[in-house]
Amino acid sequence: MDKQIFIRQLREALDGRLSPSAVTENIDFYEDYIHTEIRKGRSADEVLASLGDPRLIARTIIDTNGPGGAQEAPYRETAGRPEAEDKPQSAVPVWARLLIGLVIAALGISLFFSVLSFLLPVLLPVAIVILLGRLFRKWLR
């Protein structure tokens, strides 16, 4: 099998099951991979043999790309709008974002109290002197 046949079979297996952008993205990935491996000195036959059957690759892509996996309904366009839209997913899980938020909050509170404990021995006597000065000023009048 040559590269063009591999890419054609992969495209045929993906068409209608994923959005056109997902099909293009996956085809571009495999074309780039094949070109990169050939530039490294491997033959096209070696690269294609290591990849395996393009229909099995397509099945794996379809199973892993959809929220329903293999049960996902085929992709169809209705009046120019896709039925199954690609939803961007965050790379960081929710629990990790919450943990990061808690750590940042704890560091902020810790920093606040560190600054306060450093300045308190200086600010407290200054505040007492100012307060006593105002009291004496009122008392002397």
> Are 96 and 36 in a shared domain?
no
Amino acid at 50: S
pLDDT at 84: 45
| Domain region containing 7 | 3-75
Which has the higher per-residue pLDDT, 137 or 73? Answer: 137
Q: How many domains does the chain have?
A: 2
The answer as to whether 27 is a domain residue is yes
pLDDT at 67 over 70: no
| Least trusted range by pLDDT, from 17-21, 35-39, 80-84 | 80-84
Question: What count of residues does the chain have?
Answer: 141
The answer as to whether 82 is a domain residue is no
Q: What is the C-alpha separation between 122 and 124, in angstroms, rounded? A: 6
> Are 31 and 66 in a shared domain?
yes
Of the candidates 89, 86, 1, the one whose C-alpha atom is nearest the C-alpha of residue 44 is 1
Ramachandran angles phi, psi of 42, nearest 5°: -80, 150
> Are 137 and 100 in a shared domain?
yes
Each residue's pLDDT tens digit, 71-125: 344 555 544 444 444 455 667 788 888 999 999 999 999 999 998 888 888 888 9
Q: What is the C-alpha separation between 14 and 49, in angstroms, rounded? A: 20
